[in-house]
Amino acid sequence: MGITLTIDGQQTQVPEGTTIFNAARELGITVPHLCYHPMLSVIGACRLCIVEVEGLGALPASCSTPVREGMVVATESPRVIEARRQILDLLLANHPEDCLTCEKTGDCRLQAYAYKYGVKRSSYQGDVKHYDADENNPFFIRDHNKCILCGRCVYMCAEKVGANVYTFAYRGFETKIAAGLDTGLENSPCIFCGNCISVCPTGALQPKLIRGQGRVFDVDKVQTVCPYCGVGCAISLQINQGKIIGAVGANGPANNNLLCVKGRFGWDFIQHRDRLKEPLVRKGGELVPVSWDEALSYAAARLLAIKDKYGPGALGGLSSAKCTNEENYLFQKFIRLVLGTNNVDHCARLCHASTITGLSYAFGSGAATNSIAELEEAELILVVGSNTLEAHPVIGFWLHQAQRRGATLIVIDPRRTDLAEKADLFLQLAPGTDVALYLGMMHVIVGEGLHDREFIEERCEGFPELAAILPDYPPAKVAAMTGVPPEDIIKAARLYASSKRATILYAMGITQHTSGTANVASLANLAMLTGNVGRPSTGIYPLRGQNNVQGACDMGALPDYLPGYQRVAKEEVRALFEEKWGRPLPHDRGLTVLEMMEAARAGKIRAMYIMGENPVLSDPDMAGTEAALEKLDFLIVQDIFPTETTRYAHVVLPGASFAEKDGTFTNTERRIQRIRKAIEPVGESLPDWQIISKLSARMGYPMEYPSAAAVMDEIASVTPIYGGVSYDRLGDRGLQWPCPHRDHPGTKFLHHERFAGGKGRLAVVRPQVPAEVPDDEYPFILSTGRHLYHYHTGTMSRRSYGLETFRPEAYVEVNPGTAADLGIEEGELVAVATRRGEIVLKALITDRVGPRVLFIPFHYREAPANLLTNPARDPKAQIPELKVCAARLTKIRQVEEPLQEVVYTT
């Protein structure tokens, strides 16, 4: 049953409750508007979308007026036009007439409507507001003089982002949009995601970097994927004459047009002066520029010589979670076929190795079970060991939206993160006590009969064994182990188990432990026990840290897997690849990242090829990594910037950035998405896949691909889960693997009706103590991680104007009580030492951390957190325990001086 009405002479039928605005839009009539936005709820402020309805005296706003049976609507009647002119006249009366120099010219809705209705200038000559622009932040400007108070930014921030930075402040003509308590954006809770900019209809909100660089009519847009974290947000790069001048959100499935501060403002590293523009070869101790020919010939010769002398086992390679699928595929192929070894790994080892071991054991697949968009329908979301709002901000926005719709949010974390502050229930556990906590929750679930017997019976094995140990973990005992009050354990267990659509998100807080595999398996246990897997809006999401860490794993940049998680150890698998690739494959188990470093220190690995990684800063025990690299006979580093690792290189090869090449990234929800070349490679740099091909050719194995698309075609032919993937199918929304053939639509969620590995396996895991626990000498627990404004080792983000200007300095989070005990003041320099080293940095006093816990972001080369971390590893996953080690904190009694920027000599 619909409602029939007439709009501008056209009869139409729409469902009851449709607004006039939307009914008109369906007829192809867009009613002029300034405040209405399809992403936001109705604001009703601008009044430009008024229409005339027969029989009604007033002119109702079409955005908020529902249709009625028999309504006759005119969207451009003389009365309507007159009223719109009046409204535009009023707006222009208090709006600068600087369209000639305004950044928004051509894209400004006010300008467009003034043009449409012929309002040349305002007829009023009265009061005009003159505000100082809010521009004390490096990201964007809020020019109140251009603000027409439509309210879109307020609603965007409140409804989609959840930062609630903006409000209408003051009254009447004095009304303005205030950030915080009208003390400027930089003093507000603003997270500078800039999503407000994307909905601003005028020039009131403008990114800083784009000023004077080009306006809408100068700009081309190329849609690609953000190169920062694993969420996989679609972005459009704005290009003017071969130069990137900005980035905006695009309508991708993971982000629905939203971006975080890094995605929107962190693109400018691409054109940073530090970019490697030509190959370098070390001559007389110095890296000097050479031709590609010389560099590649030299590299090929050295690799072959070392292989000849020491055998293929003396070679190894680190692939890159920042590079494309195609590049990872070719890299592992090169290492295996040309160098002849399985010594290939990448930084997934440091983040989600335990996810692969843990989830593969439980479900038969190590990937996220469900899709990001399914969070929308979740009833309960349990976030564990994930600082989502900082490390995966756009997923943080999804969580906010889910919560707004009524989803319950439980956060489990040793730190009281911003997400914990928003949670309905927050469990602040002691670092490294995860397994105990989940055993306690399972104790409650099984004890109270809240488990899903039917699901367990039909689809899982191992329940009796698991159930047998649960009596050992009553809430009271678990409370003593974890520091979480027993009633909260019970509450969390009941909430999770009684929700029909409960979902779990986790990140490094779970995986980077010596018990990482057990932690992951425990979460899988929770999901299986309650039947919260294999259905929409349930399951488990390991949040992937890098743009393509999922893809790098998928592509077999791992010592034990070929593309598509096919085991190297299996002869039939090898046979298949040998046939396709035409060369024999090594079958020894390869070395993982940290094993390679150990082998290098021991002189067993003599040469390495590192693509797009910076292990000196990213791996635990920096001194150990440096010693390993120092010892190598030959090191090739391929990157876009000089890094702490290129200092040890004999050959440095300049790669092209993500914006300068075609390819695909696979995001944290298994979605394979296209990245597209927006500009030419900087200097002489080349896309990594071309460099690998050229080097391979010089070593006797030609790799000839006309394009990245051709590489994907080959990937599809050897990788069943990518079997149906090709560039012509990917479009702007990509495909989620498994996608076994060309007619397959991709897979939204896994384990429907059957686990990938057949039966789900409940694991019997017991709590274990971290490798290093506090003692008298080192009384604190040190944890490391990310913050919002930087990314990984800072290679990219610290070369972004906005990000680096805003957060230039390292810090250690110290609990106020601890700070008081030690007499440490905010911003004061302190020393943090562990058994492996000591760094000096500023103290940030905050109750985000408990009294015995310290937290240091690992982005800063001036105070490298990984000088301190413990390389102790999970025996199954070989992942190091970056989240827990014993540390000492000392006040430094010196006059404070700014930390020195490290100057690169290359």
Partner 1 sequence: MPKPHRKADGVSHFPPDIALPVAGHSYLGGASLSRLDEFLQLQEQIRTRYQAKTDDALYVGMGTCGLAAGSGEVFRFLRSYLKERAPHVQLVPVGCIGLDEEEVLVDVQLGGKERYSYGRMDIDRTRKVIDRHVLEGKPVEEWLVGIIPEPAKPYPDLPFYRYQQRYVFCRSGFINPERIEDYIAWGGYAALVRALRDMTPEEVIEAISQAGLRGRGGAGFPTGRKWELARKSPGEPKYVVCNADEGDPGAFMDRSLLEGDPHGVLEGLIIGAYAIGAAHGFFYVRAEYPLAIRRLKIAINQARRFGLLGDDILGTGFAFDVTIKEGAGAFVCGEETALMASIMGKRGMPHPRPPYPAAKGLWEQPTNINNVETWANVPLIIDRGVHQFCAYGNENNRGTKLFAITGKTATTGLAEVPLGMSLHTIIFKLAGGVRRGRFKAVQIGGPSGGCLPEDKLSTPVDYDALTKVGAMMGSGGMVVLNEETCMVDLARFFTSFNRNESCGKCTPCREGTLRMLEILEQLTTQGGSLEDLAKLEGLGQTMRLTSLCGLGQTAPNPVLSTLTYFQDEYLAHLEGRCPAGVCFGGVKERKEEALWASP
Question: Using CB under 8 A, which of 37, 47, 513, 873 touches partner 1?
Answer: 47
Contact between 171 and partner 1 (CB under 8 A)?
Answer: yes
Q: Does 119 bind partner 1 (CB under 8 A)?
A: no
The token pair that represents 62 in the structure block = 């079409």
Minimum CB–partner distance for residue 411 and partner 1 (Å): 24
Indicate the residue among 125 and 900 with the shorter CB distance to partner 1.
125
**Sole binder of partner 1 in the list 1, 58, 895, 903 (CB under 8 A):** 58
Whichever of 171 and 273 has its CB closer to partner 1, that residue is 171
48 binds partner 1 (CB under 8 A): yes
- Number of helices (H) and strands (E) in the chain: give both, helices first: 30, 38
183 forms part of the interface with partner 1 (CB under 8 A): no
Least separation in angstroms between CB 125 and partner 1 = 9
Note whether 87 binds partner 1 by CB under 8 A.
yes
Tally Cβ neighbours within 10 Å of residue 382. 28
Q: With respect to partner 1, which residue has the nearer C-beta, 48 or 549?
A: 48
Task: Choose between 115 and 170: whose C-beta lies nearer to partner 1.
Answer: 170
Q: Is 81 in the site for partner 1 (CB under 8 A)?
A: no
Asked if residue 130 binds partner 1 (CB under 8 A), the reply is no
Which pair of structure tokens corresponds to residue 606? 């003599």
Q: How far is the CB of 62 from partner 1 (least distance, A)?
A: 11
Residue 481 contacts partner 1 per CB under 8 A: no
Q: Does 200 bind partner 1 (CB under 8 A)?
A: no
- CB-based contact 423:410 (threshold 8 Å): yes
Closest approach, Cβ 886 to partner 1, in A, equals 45
Counting contacts by CB under 8 A, is residue 64 touching partner 1?
A: yes
DSSP label at 777? S
Q: Is 71 in the site for partner 1 (CB under 8 A)?
A: no
Least spacing, CB of residue 424 vs partner 1, in Å: 16
- Whichever of 61 and 721 has its CB closer to partner 1, that residue is 61
Q: What is the spatial distance between Cα 197 and Cα 204, in angstroms, rounded to a whole number? A: 8
Rounded-to-integer distance, Cα 687 and Cα 243, Å? 18
Residue 484 to residues 414, 479, 502, 520, 889, Cα–Cα distance (Å): 10, 5, 21, 19, 25
Question: Would you say 174 or 457 has its CB closer to partner 1?
Answer: 174
174 binds partner 1 (CB under 8 A): yes
Residue 584: what are its φ and ψ, rounded to 5°? -70, 150
Under the criterion CB under 8 A, does residue 799 sit at the interface with partner 1? no
Q: Toward partner 1, which CB reaches closer, 59 or 235?
A: 59
Cα 123 to Cα 32, 129, 147, 641, 808, distances in angstroms: 21, 16, 19, 56, 49
DSSP for residue 686: B
Q: How far is CA 738 from CA 113, 254, 354, 728, 808, in A?
A: 48, 18, 21, 17, 41
For residue 272 the two structure tokens come to 């940073």
Among 25, 44, 302, 816, binds partner 1 (CB under 8 A): 44
* CB of 500 closer than 8 Å to CB of 493: no
Q: In the set 66, 184, 536, 740, which binds partner 1 (CB under 8 A)?
A: 66
Residue 464, judged by CB atoms within 10 A of its CB (0-12, 13-18, 19+), counts as exposed
Nearer to partner 1, 87 or 444 (CB): 87
Triad 224, 225, 229: Cα angle to 5°: 165
Q: How far apart are the first and last CA of the chain?
A: 72
The residues, any chain, with a CB within 8 Å of residue 734's CB and separated by 6 or more, are 253, 664, 671, 672, 673, 674
94 part of the interface to partner 1, by CB under 8 A? yes
- Interaction of residue 126 with partner 1, rule CB under 8 A: yes
Phi/psi zone of residue 51: left (φ > 0), alpha (ψ -120 to 50 degrees), beta?
beta
Rounded Cα gap, residues 779 and 24, in angstroms: 67
Among 27, 42, 730, 892, binds partner 1 (CB under 8 A): 42
Give me the residues paired with residue 506 across strands. 384, 542
* Smallest gap from residue 150 Cβ to partner 1 (A): 9
Q: Does the footprint of partner 1 cover residue 168 (CB under 8 A)?
A: yes
Nearer to partner 1, 61 or 599 (CB): 61
Say which residue the tokens 């405040």 belong to: 35
Smallest Cα–Cα separation from 506: which of 654, 596, 387? 387
**Does 449 help bind partner 1 (rule: CB under 8 A)?**
no
Residue 573 is a binding residue for partner 1 (CB under 8 A): no
CB atoms within 10 A of CB 602: 10
Please select the residue that binds partner 1; options are 175, 251, 707, 717, rule is CB under 8 A: 175
Which amino acid is residue 149, in one-letter code? L
Q: Which of 6, 77, 105, 167 binds partner 1 (CB under 8 A)?
A: 167
118 near partner 1, judged by CB under 8 A = no
With contacts defined by CB under 8 A, name the span among 121-129, 138-146, 414-422, 428-436 that binds partner 1.
121-129
C-alpha angle 90/96/100, rounded to 5°? 125
Least separation in angstroms between residue 79's CB and partner 1 is 8
The size of the interface with partner 1 (CB under 8 A), counted in residues, is 38
Interacting residue with partner 1 among 6, 86, 105, 726 (CB under 8 A)? 86
**What are the backbone angles phi and psi of residue 48, rounded to the nearest 5°?**
-80, -25
Helix (H, G, I), strand (E, B) or coil at 887: strand
Binding of residue 148 to partner 1 (CB under 8 A): yes
Tabulate helix, strand, coil % of the chain (nearest 5): 35, 20, 45
Point out which residues bind partner 1 (CB under 8 A).
42, 44-48, 50, 57-59, 61, 63-64, 66, 79, 82-83, 86-87, 90-91, 93-94, 123-124, 126-127, 148-149, 151, 167-168, 170-175
